[in-house]
Amino acid sequence: MRSKYLLPVLLAGVSCSMMETEPADTGAREELVPEGHQIVGKTGTAVKTSLDDRFREVWDDGDMIRVVSVVDHEGEDYAMVETSSDRTAAVFAPETDAEAVAGTPRYAVYPASAFMQFTDEGSPVAAVDFSGLEKSSLACAYAEDTVIPDGADVAPLPMVASSEGNIFSFKSLCGAVQVRPYDYQTMGITLSSIRVGAADGIPVGGVATVDMDSGSIISMTGERTCLTYVLEEPVSIESSGWTSWSVNSASSFDRDARCFLFWLPAMDYGQGLEITLKDTEGREYRFTTGPLSVRPASVTKLPYMPLSLYYGTANCVRVEPGTTAVSVDVTPYFSISDRFEPENRPVGGAEDLIAGASVVWQQEHGCPETDLTWSSDRGTVVPAGARIPVTASGDHVYMNVPLTGTAGNAVVAIKDAEGNILWSFHIWAGEAYDVPCSTGEGGEYILMDRNIGATSLLDRSQSSEETVRNSFGMFYQWGRKDPFPRVLSRSGRVTSYRAENAMSNSVTRDDKSIGNICWSVRNPGKRIWLDNGSGCNWLMSYINELWGFPYAATDPERIVAENSTVSGVKTVYDPCPEGYRIADIKHLYGLLSLNGSTLSGRDSYYGYHFRTGSGETTIFMPAAGYVSSKIEDATALCYETYWGMYWTSATGLANTHLFRIDGQTYAQIQNSLRGQMHSVRCLKITE
């Protein structure tokens, strides 16, 4: 008959012969949870239920372990009968009178039900059941510094230990991965479930082959399994306090960010994890993390994932005049790039939300209208009343826009069943050519020969007062993807500011309900401004990478120096046609330096012809003026035909950097408020 005995069970490599002696802090575990913070989970039968502030398992009533050896494969179950004061050490005893498990070393497995069998006679390698992972609860946290949030269920996480006697130090076979997506766009993304699996098909909830001596997983076997966690209540991932990656300033982002924690077998995942987020609208966002290692009893934090939801491969589609139809890619995509690059990852189920398309506004070459709030169905670029079908073809969705063949500009939007704009596209019917440039600061690069939206390249010496404005192009607020039209039919120069042409689509940025990316996307024809004496950023927070440059500073020369080693990228908000992106500061600064910052000929040309450094080639930069974000009259047009103000991709913390040419015959780089409306010149992507 077996003799009944007690087993003191310890953690973290600490051995002790007396239950009253608390385990020493070996320093072997990283302190991932703040000092003094204890996580308390659900109380259950035959399971431990919590972790302490050093990621140590805390034993609880009813916990059971299985003790086996290579001699006694069946072993015996033991229940916890007593714990140390901090509950990280415990004494276990068999529930019935039994002889001691024969042979050494002895091995212990928690939970008792997870032990399956030894794989070979006399081998210390055993099969351990990981199916309990599928029952572990997914936890979410508001606070970034709460690594193990309240409610994190550790009950099903297997542990193993080995001993030559009766004292065991358990090693966890699992680690945690923290997924950190967030809806910085304020698109209202609310998650309903998360699915996790190994990208190479390794079963993450199957059976593990474990070396019991080392306490490490050798392999996972069985059919491919993924872990799917359905949230008890949907969780919004909106993070309203976010500021730019390139701004080292205090932010509420860490307090607002939603962190999702899930448990996995501790091992290397050579092809990474495949993670699928599903929201309450039925959309699925699937991505792969890339190679990572999940360490035992540790949390692996995945990078923050700014979830950019967008449509199509370019926000501007340029066609030659005379074109009678254009097919526009409006496939729902998402990106998790922290530079907002269009990674074109398909959004599952989102195509079903597209119910139709319509014109937001349109304006033909030489348009005589001076009221910019005219109806969208004038029929000058897109035929009046024309149907704009949206059709699926394979994995893509296309919007087929009929055109009249007239040069001009139109903004066409796709909408949901309620008529809300999901995304909009600038159709630019006009010629455009490439101009090679060679400047010291900018290097070798190619600019478009005209501003976005220009339907002419004629300066004042070649055209009348009434037609020269066709070469000026569209207006843009910095960081927004959609253009704003300008009055094309006007006589006389604007040497200060003039406001006789109504811009009643201007909306005051009162709070974050308007000053966010989602609102700007759903209202592409509405300019956001602030009725004060200093102007504004149209966006409530300062997101400096919207147009692709990752570094911000107030000193333009410092930005140019940084730009010489780090280039901008095309983003999901870039206003240029496919194959082009907004010019960096170094490109326009290069023109400035090459031309000695001194200009001539503005009075006769209503703009400036810059030498490009490539032979005798010049490039025309019209003095297109700008629209202020601060003047009391919201419709004010400033210095048209007198100043030219060109956005760059770079920001100066609160403000942004632009290239300015003016009537005093000089050019310079200066700061400007993001809510103002300026011109854009595109750079050809050659990398």
Give the pLDDT confidence of 268-302 residue by residue, as tens digits: 999 999 999 999 999 999 999 999 999 988 888 89
More confident residue, 667 or 335: 335
CA distance 611 to 440: 13
Q: Supply the mean pLDDT for the chain.
A: 84
Select the more confidently predicted residue: 95 or 278.
278
Q: Which of 24-38, 71-85, 188-202, 457-471 has the lowest mean pLDDT?
A: 24-38
Q: Output phi, psi for 133, to 5 deg.
A: -60, -30
Integer Cα distance of 215 and 109 in angstroms: 10
| Residues 371, 441 within the same domain | no
Above 80 in pLDDT, residue 126?
yes
Same structural domain, 181 and 252: yes
What average pLDDT does this structure show over 327-351?
96
- What is the band of 52 on the pLDDT scale with cuts at 50, 70, 90? low
Region for residue 543 given its phi and psi (left: phi exceeds 0; alpha: psi -120 to 50; beta: otherwise): beta
**Residue 343's domain is classified under what CATH number?**
2.60.40
Whether residues 276 and 350 share a domain: the answer is no
How much is the average pLDDT of 254-280?
89
Residue 529 lies in a domain: no
| Two tokens, residue 294 | 């999940």
Confidence bin at 632 (pLDDT 50/70/90): low
Name the pLDDT band for 160 (thresholds 50, 70, 90): very high
What value does the mean pLDDT take over residues 447-465?
A: 95
Are residues 274 and 343 located together in one domain of the fold?
A: no
Q: How many residues in the chain? A: 687
Judge if 451 and 326 occupy the same domain: no
pLDDT of 534 > 80? The answer is no
Q: Which amino acid is located at 356 in the chain?
A: G
Those residues whose C-beta lies under 8 Å from the C-beta of residue 395, and which sit 6 or more positions away, are: 331, 346
pLDDT at 6: 59
Contact 30, 141 (CB under 8 A): no
Helix, strand, coil abundance in the chain, percent, nearest 5: 5, 40, 55
Contact 333, 349 (CB under 8 A): no
d(CA 477, CA 521): 13
* C-alpha span between 76 and 93 (Å, rounded): 10
Joined together, the tokens standing for residue 196 give 């996790």
Q: Where are the alpha helices (DSSP H) in 240-316?
A: 253-256
Measured CA to CA, the distance from residue 513 to residue 504 in angstroms comes to 19
> Per-residue pLDDT tens for 376-419?
888 899 999 999 999 999 899 999 999 999 999 999 999 999 99
Q: Given 381, 399, 429, which residue is the final one in a domain?
A: 429
Is residue 348, in this structure, part of any structural domain at all?
yes
**Helices 556-563 and 585-594, axial angle in degrees (round to 10):** 110
Which three-class secondary structure string do you get for 38-53?
CEECCCCCCCCCEECC
How distant, in Å, are the alpha carbons of 45, 82, 295, 464, 678 from that of 489?
Answer: 80, 89, 67, 10, 19
Sign of the Cα torsion 299, 271, 346, 429 reads positive
Total tally of structural domains belonging to the chain? 3
Q: What is the mean pLDDT of residues 562-586?
A: 96
Residue 518: inside a domain, yes or no? no
Q: Are residues 247 and 391 in the same domain?
A: no
Q: Kindly give, in sequence order, each residue whose CB lies less than 8 Å from that of residue 596, ignoring residues fewer than 6 positions away.
A: none
As a whole number, mean pLDDT of residues 210-219 equals 95
**Contacts with 309 (C-beta within 8 Å, 6 or more apart), sequence order:** 185, 187, 189, 283, 332, 333, 334, 347, 350
297 in the same domain as 353: no
Give the structural domain span for 323: 316-429
User: For the ranges 122-126, 408-412, 415-419, 651-655, which has the lowest average pLDDT?
Assistant: 651-655
| Cα–Cα distance list, 16 to 8, 91, 94 (Å) | 8, 11, 20
Same domain, 419 and 438: no
Question: Does 621 score more than 90 pLDDT?
Answer: yes
Residue 491 lies in a domain: yes
Higher-confidence position of 616 and 511? 616
Per-residue pLDDT band at 612 (split at 50, 70, 90): very high
Look at residue 639 and tell me if it is in a domain.
yes
Q: Among the ranges 56-60, 87-91, 629-633, 637-641, which has the highest mean pLDDT value?
A: 637-641
Comparison of pLDDT for 64 and 18, the residue scoring more: 64
Segment of 28-42, 427-441, 491-505 carrying the highest mean pLDDT = 427-441
Cα four-point dihedral sign 347, 353, 359, 361: negative
Q: Could you tell me if 21 and 99 lie in one domain?
A: yes
Angle ∠(545,521,257) on CA atoms, nearest 5? 55
Whether the per-residue pLDDT at 194 is higher than 70: the answer is yes
Contact predicate 581/682, CB 8 Å: yes
Residues 447-462: what's their mean pLDDT?
Answer: 96
Q: Which residue has the higher pLDDT, 6 or 169?
A: 169
**Range with the poorest average pLDDT among 38-42, 245-249, 374-378:** 38-42
CA-CA distance, 33 to 53, in Å (whole number)? Answer: 5
Q: Residue 3 pLDDT more than 50? A: no
- Identify the CA nearest to 646 among candidates 617, 616, 619: 619
Q: What's the half-sphere exposure (Cβ side, CA atoms, 13 Å) at 522?
A: 16
DSSP designation for 598: B
Q: Which residue has the tokens 């939007």?
A: 413
Predicted pLDDT at 11: 42
Whether 366 and 298 map to the same domain: the answer is no
User: Per the domain annotation, does 183 fall within a domain?
Assistant: yes
- Domain contains 534: no
388/463 same-domain check: no
pLDDT of residue 510: 78
Model confidence at 84, in pLDDT bands (50, 70, 90)? confident
What is the pTM assigned to this prediction?
0.88
Residues 298 and 331 in one domain: no
Distance CA 641, CA 658 (A): 17
Confidence band of 638 (pLDDT split at 50, 70, 90): confident
pLDDT for 465: 85
Contacts of 548 (CB under 8 A, 6+ apart): 339, 340, 341, 568, 569, 570, 571, 574, 581, 582, 649
Please say which residue of 429, 449, 479 terminates a domain: 429
Q: Is residue 1 assigned to a domain?
A: no
Average pLDDT over residues 444-450: 97
Mean pLDDT across 137-142: 62
Span 319-337, mean pLDDT? 98
The two tokens of residue 395 are: 């994995």
Three-state secondary structure readout of 278-294 = EECCCCEEEEECCCEEC
Instruction: Give the C-alpha distances (Å, rounded to integers) separating 126 from 34, 110, 165, 258.
Output: 35, 13, 20, 38
- From 429, 461, 485, the end of a domain falls on 429
CA 204/CA 225 separation, integer angstroms = 6
pLDDT > 90 fraction of the chain, expressed in percent and rounded = 51
Tell me the residue type at 39.
I
C-alpha distances (whole Å) from 135 to each of 18, 207, 597, 601 are: 35, 15, 68, 75
Concatenating the DSSP letter of every residue in 83-112 gives E-TTSSSEEEEESS--PPPPSSSEEEEESG
**Whole-number pLDDT of residue 210:** 97
Q: Tell me, what's the pLDDT at 14?
A: 29
